[in-house]
Amino acid sequence: MAPLVAVVSSPRARLFACFLRLGTQQAGPLQLHTGACCTAKNHYEVLVLGGGAGGITMATRMKRRVGAENVAIVEPSERHFYQPIWTLVGAGAKELSLSVRSTLSVIPSRVQWIQDRVAELNPDENCIRTDSGKEISYRYLIIALGIQLDYEKIKGLPEGFAYPKIGSNYSVKTVEKTWKALQDFKEGNALFTFPNTPVKCAGAPQKIMYLSEAYFRKTGKRPKANIIFNTALGTIFGVKKYADALQEIIRERDVSVNYKHNLIEVRPDKQEAVFEILDKPGETHVIPYEMLHVTPPMSAPDVLKRSPVADSAGWVDVDKETLQHKKYPNVFGIGDCTNLPTSKTAAAVAAQSGILDRTMCLIMKNQRPIKKRLLGRSSLLAKAVSSGHELKMAHSLLFLDGFWTKITVTD
């Protein structure tokens, strides 16, 4: 994507672009976004649930179609995180502070931010209810509520993170503990896990393992490190071509892999992890660790599981080629909360957003949406890993779409 300054011509336009880049803290009294409480309405042409990558992207696109005053985002958090960089934070290559901005600074200018949590969806009445009791109606609803981390489904967590030698790159509260565990590692088992559920960025559990292995080599700790990857899956990667490439990397770097191993308990006081063996019901495997990286079980947000828009597994039930809901024609889904057959990543959202924008454009014109298959990018992970340049390639992969720049300065 060309820099913003390259596509604006006048000095005034350049000044405006600079203010868009600065965000809420720097812009001060010239902040362009409306307040969350003082101007909120009860009805919007387009209502977006969720202020993550998918929600911000679609609010930007819908602003262009129906006007900023007719679009609102429901999002409770005051902070917006660019989570792909957390892999590098956990590996000690980036600072956590680089991943955060204020939510206000990434919401498209003049689009309404309703700082509240979604408590109930009522698609039959075209409205939602928030935790504060506010009812908001809509003509079109875009659901972008992301995915839920279920650490509590592992016995001993999340309270176990209070102990040393255990971290998780999937939470802002625990990602820096991964780097601390790496630094403190002396000898023994360095254990990495993959759960028996869908996860966001399914390559991340392997990325931190390869980056850790590189760190051990760099610091001279590798001869005393036994690196173990325990995955609930039956293969290292879903696409055979790239699974074969990854198997070569695993062999070259002497990594032990245990398949069908699902983490069910952590005993941090003993530094032990307990796994159920999925193809041997009732059998468990206890592994001591000197370092443990946990990828938690994940699921659709609870508010979706109990709503009419969910499929039997709790995900937003959308047509995989249009992103339109299968039952409610004015409801749409994007990103991790949907049952789309794509990876749950920001790169997938980048591809999905163009399709959803086209779908909604046609529906707003009373036309039938075009059926077109989504193209996934999951193979990029394997290409990056198999190149042998872990840090450089992982960094390139994480910022492949210039994603944060796009959603914050091109509204």
Q: Tens digit of pLDDT for each residue in 224-254? A: 999 999 999 999 988 888 899 999 999 999 9
pLDDT value at residue 99 = 95
Q: How far apart are CA 216 and CA 220, in angstroms?
A: 6
Of the candidates 104, 105, 67, 99, which has an alpha carbon nearest to the alpha carbon of residue 86? Answer: 99
pLDDT value at residue 27 = 33
**Do 340 and 320 contact (CB within 8 A), yes or no?**
yes
| Percent of the chain residues topping a pLDDT of 70 | 81
Cβ partners under 8 Å of residue 150, min gap 6: 197, 296, 297, 298, 299
Can you tell me which residue has the tokens 């959603």?
407
Mean pLDDT within 395-408: 36
Mean pLDDT within 79-96: 96
CA 355, 356, 362, 366 torsion: positive or negative? positive
pLDDT value at residue 239 = 81
pLDDT tens for residues 39-52?
457 999 999 999 99
Cβ partners under 8 Å of residue 135, min gap 6: 42, 127, 128, 129
166 DSSP β-pair partners: 292
pLDDT(385) > 60: no
Per the prediction, the chain carries an average pLDDT of 84
| Percent of the chain residues topping a pLDDT of 90 | 76
- The tally of CA atoms less than 13 A away on the side-chain side of residue 258 is 20
pLDDT tens for residues 152-201?
999 999 999 999 999 999 999 999 999 999 999 999 999 999 999 999 99
pLDDT value at residue 34 = 33
- At residue 280, the 3 state secondary structure works out as coil
Q: Which amino acid is at 218?
A: K
Of the candidates 102, 141, 161, which has an alpha carbon nearest to the alpha carbon of residue 308? Answer: 141
From residue 147, how far is each of 201, 226, 336 by CA, in Å? 11, 32, 6
Least confident stretch, 16-30, 88-102, 284-298, 314-328 = 16-30
